[in-house]
Amino acid sequence: MDHFLYRDGILHAEDVAVADIAAQVGTPFYVYSAATLTRHYTLFTEALSPLPHLVCFAIKSLSNIAVLKLLGDLGAGMDVVSGGEYRRAVAAGVPGSRIVFSGVGKTREEMRLALEGGIRQFNVESEPELRALSEVASAMGTTAPITIRVNPDVDARTHEKIATGKKDNKFGIPISRASEVYAEAAKLPGLQVIGIDVHIGSQLTELEPFEQAYKKVADLTLRLRSEGHTISRLDLGGGLGIPYERSNSAPPLPHDYGALIKRTVGHLGCEIEIEPGRLISGNSGLLVSKVIYVKNGEISDFLIVDAAMNDLVRPSMYGAHHDIIPVTEAKAATLPHAYDVVGPVCETGDTFAKARPLAPLAEDDLIAFRSAGAYGAVMASEYNTRPLIPEVLVKDDQFAVIRARPSYEDMLNRDTIPLWL
């Protein structure tokens, strides 16, 4: 569910007409719905109750500080994978006690940053990282709370670039070596083992892979406890998918996911952490763009728009689908026309959709890419010296620009010409 609906034929974000935002902000831009973000976060907290739990938003999906503050004020924790994301969470007012640090390549500088500022736990991914964290924490005279990420060798049945739980992926330690690695962690100074971490991938559209992984984690919990380790917290990752194509059947709901967690690990008496990103942020956002030209080709007709692959890379990078709708609703009797929807970047890969049936469109018409809140703005670049596009947050009948479009002067002034040129 989202809060982007037509009213009197005009697309609205909550109670704000999208065309009014475009008139003031210019296109292209991202717009997010506070009501949708709130609803999706709340669905997860309700799904896990009454288990002791913390829902940690995966910042990598949408990292704007205003969005993080909105979720943090609701009680969300934050899952960070870099020192920069840690700084964003802190800037949003989220206490270190609700920040989890994940990622395969944490540097010693990032470890020190989190230990100084406060951290709920590090999700450790390798033995070299385990030893490095021990050295850093010991040198600081402190103790780092840790879970160890295990790789359960479960096929998440998702895109190969976002699958993380198979034995040939770079993430975690093999679950078969968990006893050995936990034994080492228990002997290292400066570390406190508190639990287990697992994350098998993103955009999962069925529950069975989760069930396979969580059953393995349940068995591991009992084994590690029998070996003398305190396992009081299970970080079960994120990954629940969203319906990018409205015509397809919907993925499982948070309620179903929560029931699965209770069934597989609820008997262990552990605090549960989950790290959803896409399901909270994905359908909370639109990318709004304007038609520059309608170009009639020999084989295809092209809708050339002012958004490009540098603004939304998912179709180019993953072959991902985003529903595309007009900002002004087409009349019911209007026959669709097939367009290749493309951007202005000088790459054939700058293609959002091929032969997509849409209502006939003309120059200056506005369109919106649905389900663009996750991995949209965060993955954007300035390729072709195109400015990063604005982000806008809507609440009821209000909207605010939460990241402004930089000027060309801002972009050019970041470069420096050496004195010897």
- Residue-wise pLDDT for 364-379, tens only, equals 999 999 999 999 999 9
**Residue where the block lists tokens 């037509």:** 6
Angle 302-329-29 from CA coordinates, rounded to 5°:
65
Q: What's the confidence (pLDDT) of residue 160?
A: 54
pTM of the model: 0.94
What is the mean predicted confidence (pLDDT) over 100-115?
97
Strands 121-124 and 77-80: unpaired
Residue 206 included in any domain: yes
Residue 161 pLDDT greater than 60, yes or no: no
Residue 78 included in any domain: no
Q: Based on the domain organization, do 216 and 191 belong to the same domain?
A: yes
Residue 75 included in any domain: no
Strands 366-369 and 324-326: antiparallel
Residue 36 included in any domain: no
CATH code for position 230: 3.20.20.10
Residue 393 included in any domain: yes
Residue 15 included in any domain: yes
Total count of residues recorded for the chain = 421
Tokens for 223? 């084994």
Among 274, 304, 330, residue at a domain's last position: 274
Q: Based on the domain organization, do 199 and 319 belong to the same domain?
A: no
Query: What is the Cα–Cα distance from 195 to 168, expressed in whole angstroms?
Result: 24
Residue 400 included in any domain: yes
CA dihedral 359, 360, 366, 371 (to 10 degrees): 30
Q: Based on the domain organization, do 263 and 355 belong to the same domain?
A: no
Helix (H) or strand (E) holding 258: helix 254-265
Tokens for 308? 């490009």
Give which of 275, 373, 278 is closest to 57, Cα–Cα: 275
Phi-psi region of 14 (alpha: psi -120 to 50; beta: other; left: phi over 0): left
Give residue-wise pLDDT tens across range 242-295: 888 876 667 889 999 999 999 999 999 999 999 999 999 999 999 999 999 999
Provide the domain limits for residue 169: 103-274
Number of domains comprising the chain: 2
Strand partners, 75: none
Residues 97-130 as b/e (b if ≥16 CB within 10 A, e otherwise) read ebbbbbbbebeeebbbbbbeeebbbbbbbbeebb
Q: Based on the domain organization, do 127 and 262 belong to the same domain?
A: yes
Residue 341 pLDDT greater than 70, yes or no: yes
Q: Label residue 147 by pLDDT band (50, 70, 90).
A: very high
Give which of 115, 71, 88 is closest to 276, Cα–Cα: 71
Residues annotated catalytic, as ranges: 346
Give residue-wise pLDDT tens across range 235-253: 999 889 888 887 666 788 9
Q: What's the confidence (pLDDT) of residue 200?
A: 87
Q: Based on the domain organization, do 113 and 249 belong to the same domain?
A: yes
Q: What's the confidence (pLDDT) of residue 192?
A: 98
CATH code for position 322: 2.40.37.10
Q: Are 243 and 250 in contact (CB under 8 A)?
A: yes
Residue 322 included in any domain: yes
